[in-house]
Structure 1
C-alpha cells in the first residue's frame, strides 16, 4: 500500500495564512468572470475554492451561511459571496464580494444587449439566436424537473404545484398573489400537518473537514459580526435611504409614470419575489415587462434569457437585458443617445434588483452568526418553492410555444427548432452536459443552418 505524502499531510493540517483585503478583492474579482453554471455551479465553485483549496472557511460555517442565503429572496450564490466577504472583512468586504459577483455580468450584458438590439437582424446574430432559443426551452424544462424532484415529496406539495400552474396558466393570476397564497398555505399546513412541509430544499449539516480553516467551526465570531440592535437599526436606515433617495430623484425629475421610475418600482417588487431562484421570478418579469409595460417583446424576452444563460453571474441578471432593451426602444434620451438610455436603464434595474440582497446579508448576518447549526427552512418557504415549480412549468410552455410556433398557432410549425430543442433536452437530461456546452453547440447549429442551408 502506498504511504501518503507527508508534505501533503503537513500542508493540509497547516493553518492557512491570514487573507488581506487586497487578496480577497483579487479573488472576488476573478470569481465575477468565471461564475458560470447557475447557482448550483457557482456555489460548487465557491465551495471548491474557499473550503477545499484555500480553506478560508470551514465546511460547517460555509453550509450554515448557505442555508441562510437560501431562505432569502434573491440570488443565493451572490448573497453567499456577500456573506463570506462580510464575515472576513467587515461591511466593505461584503460589498466588494457581492458587487464583483454582479458587475462583470452587468458590463458584459450591456455590451451584448447593444449588439443584439442594434445588429440583431444581421445573419450572424440571427443564426446564433435561432439555435439558442430552442436550447433555452430545454434549459427551463430542466430547471422545472430539477426543482420539482427536490421539492415535491408528497401529494400536498404536488397539489400546490398543480394549483399554481393552473392559476398562472389558465387564470393569469399575478405571481405575487401565488407566492402569498402559497406562504399562507405553508404557514397553516406547517401547524396542522408539519410532516407534509419538511421537503423544502436546503443543505444538511457538514460531515467533512478539509483541514484547519481561517474561519473554522470553533473560531469565535469576529467583533463586527456580533448582533446589536443599534447596528441593525443603522443598517435599516442606510438601506432605506439607498432605495428612497434614487427612487425619489427619479420621481422628482421624470415623474412617477416615466419608464425609469416605473422600472425602479417594478424591479424593487420583483427582487422581493425571487424565492426559488431566477426562474421563479421570470414569469413575473414577463407579465410586467412584456404585457403591462411593453418594454420588450416575447421573442426578445426569450433572447434575453439566452444571453443571461451564457454570461457569468446570477441568472437574474437577465433584468439588465430587460432594462437595456426597454430604455433603448423607448428612446428615453432621444434618437442620438440610444445606447446611453439603454445602459442607464440596465444600471438602474440592477441597482433596485440587488440592493435588498446586500441589506439582508449585512443586516441579518450578525443574527445568523449567533445561531450556528440551528437555521432550518420554514413551512411557508417549502410551500412557496412547491408553487414555484408550477410557475416555471408555465414558463417552459410559454417558451416552447413561441419557439415552435413563431407566428402563432395559425402559422407554420418550426420542426427544425423542435429537433434542436429535443437534442438539447437529451444532452441535458441523458448526458448531463452543462448549460454552456449545450448553448454553444445549439448556437453553432443555428448559425450553420441560417447561413448555409435555410
Structure 2
C-alpha cells in the first residue's frame, strides 16, 4: 500500500495551499544567494528537511532532470516542485518568483552603477558575501555527496567528474552524457549500485513522511498526455514569437532590442552546465560583437550577478540594462526606461525556454521515478554533479583568497570570514540565510571602517 501521509498521521505535514506556497517562493526569491549549489542546498533544507513538502528521493529525481537541461537548474527545480504541487500556475509562480527579485535588484544596482559609477557600499556587501558563498558551495558538495555517494562506484564517478572538469577542462555536457552512459550500463549490469536515493530510509526516519513521498502516486495533472504536451509547446512558441515579431515590426530586425531578444534566446539554449558554461558566449557576443558594454563592465556585472539572489545567469539583466542605457534605445531623455525594458526583455527570452522544458518534460519524468532503467543514468549524473560542485568550490576559493592570482597577496580577512561561515554552517547548523545576512553586514562594516 502507498505510504502517503494522511491528515491523521501524527508526523504528516499539513497540506499546503497555493497561497502558502506562493509566499514561500516569494521569500525564497529574495534570499536565494550562493549560486545554483547554494540555492539547491537551501531548497533541500527548506522543502525536504524542514517543511517536508517533498521526499529526498523525489527531490533528487527532479534535480537530476533539471541538471541535464540547458538553463539555470535551481530555478528549474523550483519550477518543477511548484508545478508538481500546484499544477501549471504553481510552476509559473515558483519559477517566476525565483527570478523577479533578482531582476528588480539588478535593475536598481545597474542604474546606480551606470549613472553614478559609485557602488562602494555594494562592494562592501560583496566583500562579505563572497566568503559565505564559498562556504555554502562546500557545504552543498558535502550535503549532496553524503546522500548521493552511497557506494564505491558512485564515488568513482564523482572523482572522475572532478578530474575531468578540473584537470582536463572537459565541457560539462560531455561529463553529464558520460555519466548518463555509465549509469545506463550500470542499471543493466549492476543495478544494485545505481538504485536512486540509496540510503534514503535513514533520512526518512529522522525527517518523517513527506507531503509528496517516495511512493505518493503521481497527481493527475502530472500524468503524461500528448494533448497537454502539444498545448505547452504551442504556448511556449507563441510566447516567444509574439514579442519577437512585435519587436521586429516595431523597430526592425537590426535594432538593439530585437537583437538582444534573438541573442539571448540562443544563449538560453546553450547554458548546459550552468551560467559559467555560457558566460564566454555572452561575453563574446555582448562585448565583442554587439558592443553593448565594455569588458570591465561585463566583469563588474558578473560580480553583481554572483552576489545578488537568483540564478547567476541573471547577469544578462545587467548586460541588457547597460546595453539599452548606453545605446539610448528610447532616446537620450529616457535612459532608465531603456535600460529597464532591455533588462526585462532579455530576462524573458533567457528564462522562457526553462519553463517550457519543465512544463513539457515534467510529466515524462514523473513516469520514470520508479523505473531503474531511467533512474540509473540520473543517479550517475547526481554523482558526477558532486565532483562539479567541488570544482566550483575550489574556483570560488581561489578567486576569493588570491584575487590577483597566486603571485598576488593572500586575502587573510576573506579567509577568516569563509572559515567563520563554514563553522556556522557545519558545526552550529545555522541556516544559509542567516550566514549570508551576517557576512553581508560584516562586509559592510569593514567597508565603512576602511573608508575612515
| TM score, norm. by length of structure 1 | 0.74
Correspondence list, 1:15-164, <5 A: 15-121=12-118, 125-126=119-120, 128-129=122-123, 132=126, 158=163, 162=167, 164=169
Question: Is residue 249 from structure 1 mapped to residue 256 from structure 2 by the alignment?
Answer: no
1:31 deviates by 1.8
Where 1:72 maps in the other structure, the secondary structure is coil
Residues 283, 391 of structure 1: 8 Å contact kept: no
User: For 1:428, which of 418, 434, 447 is the aligned residue?
Assistant: 418
Q: 1:45 to 1:163 in 2, by over 3 A?
A: closer
Q: Distance in 2 between matches of 1:127 and 1:100?
A: 26
Q: Distance in 1 between matches of 2:288 and 2:132?
A: 24
**Deviations 1:68-100 (CA, angstroms, capped at 9, x unpaired):** 222222222211111111111111111111111
Where 1:13 maps in the other structure, the secondary structure is coil
User: For 2:284, which of 280, 287, 300 is the aligned residue?
Assistant: 287
**Deviations 1:250-285 (CA, angstroms, capped at 9, x unpaired):** 222222222212211221222222222223322222
Residues 83, 365 of structure 1: 8 Å contact kept: yes
Residues 71, 377 of structure 1: 8 Å contact kept: no
Correspondence list, 1:293-308, <5 A: 293-308=290-305
Residue in structure 1 matched with residue 356 of structure 2 by the alignment: 359
User: For 1:334, which of 324, 331, 336 is the aligned residue?
Assistant: 331
Residues 257, 342 of structure 2: 8 Å contact kept: yes
Q: Distance in 2 between matches of 1:146 and 1:52?
A: 14
Q: 1:40 to 1:266 in 2, by over 3 A?
A: same
Q: Structure 1, unaligned stretches of length 5 or more? A: 1-9, 166-177, 196-201, 406-412
Residue in structure 2 matched with residue 215 of structure 1 by the alignment: 212
Residue in structure 2 matched with residue 314 of structure 1 by the alignment: 311
1:391 deviates by 11
Q: Distance in 2 between matches of 1:392 and 1:280?
A: 16
Q: Distance in 1 between matches of 2:140 and 2:24?
A: 30
Residues 185, 383 of structure 1: 8 Å contact kept: no
Residues 57, 214 of structure 1: 8 Å contact kept: yes
Residue in structure 2 matched with residue 262 of structure 1 by the alignment: 259
Q: 1:352 to 1:140 in 2, by over 3 A?
A: farther
Which moved further from structure 2: 155-164 or 12-21? 155-164
Q: 1:61 to 1:88 in 2, by over 3 A?
A: same
Q: Distance in 1 between matches of 2:278 and 2:92?
A: 24
Q: Distance in 2 between matches of 1:119 and 1:126?
A: 11
**Deviations 1:91-127 (CA, angstroms, capped at 9, x unpaired):** 1111111111111111111111111211224xxx246
Q: Distance in 2 between matches of 1:422 and 1:66?
A: 36
State the superposition RMSD in angstroms: 4.3
Question: Is residue 224 from structure 1 mapped to residue 221 from structure 2 by the alignment?
Answer: yes
Q: Structure 2, unaligned stretches of length 5 or more? A: 1-6, 146-155, 190-195, 425-434
Residues 120, 126 of structure 1: 8 Å contact kept: no
Residues 69, 76 of structure 1: 8 Å contact kept: yes
Where 2:237 maps in the other structure, the secondary structure is helix
Which moved further from structure 2: 97-106 or 60-69? 60-69
1:368 deviates by 0.7
Q: 1:13 to 1:187 in 2, by over 3 A?
A: closer
Question: Is residue 206 from structure 1 mapped to residue 200 from structure 2 by the alignment?
Answer: yes
Q: 1:96 to 1:142 in 2, by over 3 A?
A: closer
**Deviations 1:222-250 (CA, angstroms, capped at 9, x unpaired):** 11111112211221111112112212222
Q: Distance in 1 between matches of 2:399 and 2:253?
A: 31
Q: Report the number of matched residues.
A: 411
Q: Distance in 2 between matches of 1:60 and 1:44?
A: 15
Q: 1:142 to 1:270 in 2, by over 3 A?
A: farther
